[in-house]
């Protein structure tokens, strides 16, 4: 049997339709989108159309779409940008009182006493692209609340409500978890934040606390209408939806004030300097268009496969633990722990049999620490260390899953 790829949460192959849409922009339409001449105008038109396409799909305006290099940059821009805007730090080192950071890659924030006036809310099982910026802000004086999640991997909106303070500048909760696939009640959280703003500031939107969600994993399966979700900031990237790597966007609702983290020519509405990669933006827009148009049919196809695999797995290997909510999870996500085994060992042994899967986040694969997501569920380090993430895609079939079931069962028997 040919290789079976089951790590679509890490990355996806580029859809042939996306590849076709990108082809002219590698060499024919190569101009700089800031150029006033014809080549530049053609590139700018294509970039603008990509922005329009994405905006329509999420119920936004084109100037609310900021292209970035991917999910990590978008998350960093949302977190650091909100924090810096709250503190009113000038975006130029030429301004008085602006202290240059000694640590490359992080913006200066001023004094710890000033930072201590501000507060951020997030959860313990966010992607590290959100957690690490929050931890960095904490070192610089910010107050950060890391909310617990339930054993099923669902955030309780009431805990967010209880944690809100007048000094809260940002709430960041991911739409669907990248490891266990649990889907969070983002719309419900959005409503309570809006209600909080109205009761405290008489303003429904465009006022702190801003609400950010990382929707990278959700983009291929869930509705991303920003008005229904009630978000001010939303992260999406291309590599999870059969688009090109190295491109993403941050949705920034009009009136939401964030400060840029990359300074230069002032591209992307002044929030992300640098020559725009038109080719990637065009491919991303096409991939996003396909993903959103096919999300319901693909979800309906994958959900029974997911449930079938979990059911059969439990029959063959009773000791397996399912991580996350059994139903409120992405249709393509299966995350299990096999007590008495090592997750990395299982990945290697499955790979030898032509099966590609992972232990968790691909962004953390170089580190052998147990999954912080599984630990956040209240599970032991043993369960966290033995986790296995299987994420299906457009080409996944029942026959492929049966092959995985047989081989996984055989490996466990040999291990025992």
Last residue of a domain, one of 290, 324, 347: 290
Q: In CATH, what number is assigned to the domain containing residue 118? A: 3.40.640.10
Together in a domain, 357 and 308: yes
Residue 201 has a pLDDT of 78
Residues 349, 283 share a domain? no
Tell me the three state secondary structure of residue 234.
Answer: strand
Q: How far apart are CA 47 and CA 43, in angstroms?
A: 6
240 shares a domain with 332: no
Boundary of a domain, candidates 290, 319, 335: 290
Q: What is the pLDDT of residue 129?
A: 97
* 88 plus 106 within the same structural domain: yes
**335 plus 263 within the same structural domain:** no
Instruction: Based on the fold, state whether residues 322 and 227 are members of the same structural domain.
Output: no
363 noted as active-site residue = yes
Q: Containing domain of residue 406, as a range?
A: 4-11+295-415
Distance of alpha carbon 215 from alpha carbon 103, whole angstroms? 29
Model pLDDT, residue 112: 60
- Cis previous bond, 331, omega within 30: no
**128 and 225 belong to one structural domain:** yes
Q: Are residues 42 and 180 in the same domain?
A: yes
pLDDT on residue 202: 76
What one-character-per-residue DSSP string does 391-414 give?
Answer: E--TT--HHHHHHHHHHHHHHHHH
CATH number of the domain to which 364 belongs: 3.90.1150.10
Q: Please indicate, yes or no, whether residues 189 and 301 belong to a single structural domain of this protein.
A: no
Pairing verdict, β 4-5 and 355-356: parallel
Q: Are residues 375 and 401 in the same domain?
A: yes
Per the structure, how many domains does the chain have? Answer: 2
- Where does a domain end: 270, 290, 310? 290
* pLDDT tens, the chain, 416 aa long: 689 999 999 999 999 999 999 999 999 999 988 888 999 999 999 999 999 999 999 999 999 999 999 999 999 999 999 999 988 744 333 322 323 333 333 344 455 656 778 999 999 999 999 999 999 999 989 999 999 999 999 999 999 999 999 999 999 999 999 999 999 999 999 999 999 998 887 777 768 899 999 999 999 999 999 999 999 999 999 999 999 999 999 999 999 999 999 999 889 999 999 999 999 999 999 999 999 999 999 999 999 999 999 999 999 999 999 999 999 999 999 999 999 999 999 999 999 999 999 996 555 445 567 899 999 999 999 999 999 999 999 999 999 999 999 999 999 988 77
Cα–Cα distance, 335 to 350 (Å, whole number): 15
Categorise residue 223: left if φ over 0, alpha if ψ from -120 to 50, beta otherwise: beta
275 and 323 both lie in a single domain: no
Predicted TM-score (pTM) of the model is 0.91
The Cα-based distances of 410 to 3, 63, 163, 350, 414 in angstroms read: 18, 54, 48, 10, 6
Same domain, residue pair 163 and 259 = yes
């Amino acid at each position: 049997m040919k290789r079976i790829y089951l790590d679509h949460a890490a990355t996806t192959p580029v859809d042939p339709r996306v590849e076709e849409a990108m082809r002219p922009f590698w060499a024919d339409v190569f101009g700089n989108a800031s150029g006033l001449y014809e080549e530049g105008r053609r590139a700018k038109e294509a970039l603008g159309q990509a922005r329009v396409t994405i905006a329509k799909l999420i119920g936004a305006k084109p100037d609310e779409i900021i292209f970035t290099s991917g999910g990590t940059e978008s998350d960093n821009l949302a977190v650091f940008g909100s924090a810096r805007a709250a503190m009113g730090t000038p975006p130029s080192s030429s301004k008085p009182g602006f202290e240059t950071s000694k640590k490359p890659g992080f913006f200066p924030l001023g004094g710890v006493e000033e930072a201590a006036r501000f507060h951020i809310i997030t959860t313990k099982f966010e992607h590290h692209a959100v957690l690490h910026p929050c931890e960095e802000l904490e070192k610089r004086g910010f107050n950060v609340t890391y909310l617990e999640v339930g054993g099923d991997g669902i955030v309780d909106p009431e805990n967010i409500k209880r944690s809100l303070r007048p000094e809260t500048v940002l709430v960041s909760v991911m739409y669907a978890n990248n490891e266990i696939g649990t889907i969070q009640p983002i719309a419900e959280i959005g409503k309570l934040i809006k209600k909080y703003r109205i009761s405290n500031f008489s303003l429904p939107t465009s006022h702190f606390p801003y609400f950010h969600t990382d929707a990278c994993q959700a983009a291929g399966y869930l509705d991303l209408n920003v008005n229904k979700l009630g978000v001010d900031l939303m992260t999406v990237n291309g590599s999870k939806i059969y688009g090109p790597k190295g491109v993403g966007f941050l949705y920034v609702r009009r009136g939401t004030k964030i400060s840029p983290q990359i300074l230069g020519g002032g591209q992307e509405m002044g929030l992300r300097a640098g020559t725009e990669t038109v080719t990637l933006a065009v491919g991303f827009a096409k991939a996003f268009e396909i993903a959103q148009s096919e999300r319901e049919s693909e979800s309906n196809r994958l959900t029974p496969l997911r449930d079938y695999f979990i059911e059969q797995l439990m029959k063959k290997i009773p000791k397996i633990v399912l991580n996350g909510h059994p139903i409120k999870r992405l249709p393509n996500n299966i995350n299990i722990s096999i007590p008495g085994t090592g997750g990395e060992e299982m990945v290697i042994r499955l790979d030898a049999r032509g099966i590609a899967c992972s232990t968790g986040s691909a962004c953390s694969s170089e580190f052998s620490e147990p999954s912080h997501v599984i630990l956040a569920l209240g599970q032991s380090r043993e369960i966290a260390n033995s986790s296995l993430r299987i994420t299906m895609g457009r080409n996944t079939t029942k026959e492929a899953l049966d092959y995985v079931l047989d081989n996984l069962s055989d490996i466990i028997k040999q291990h025992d």
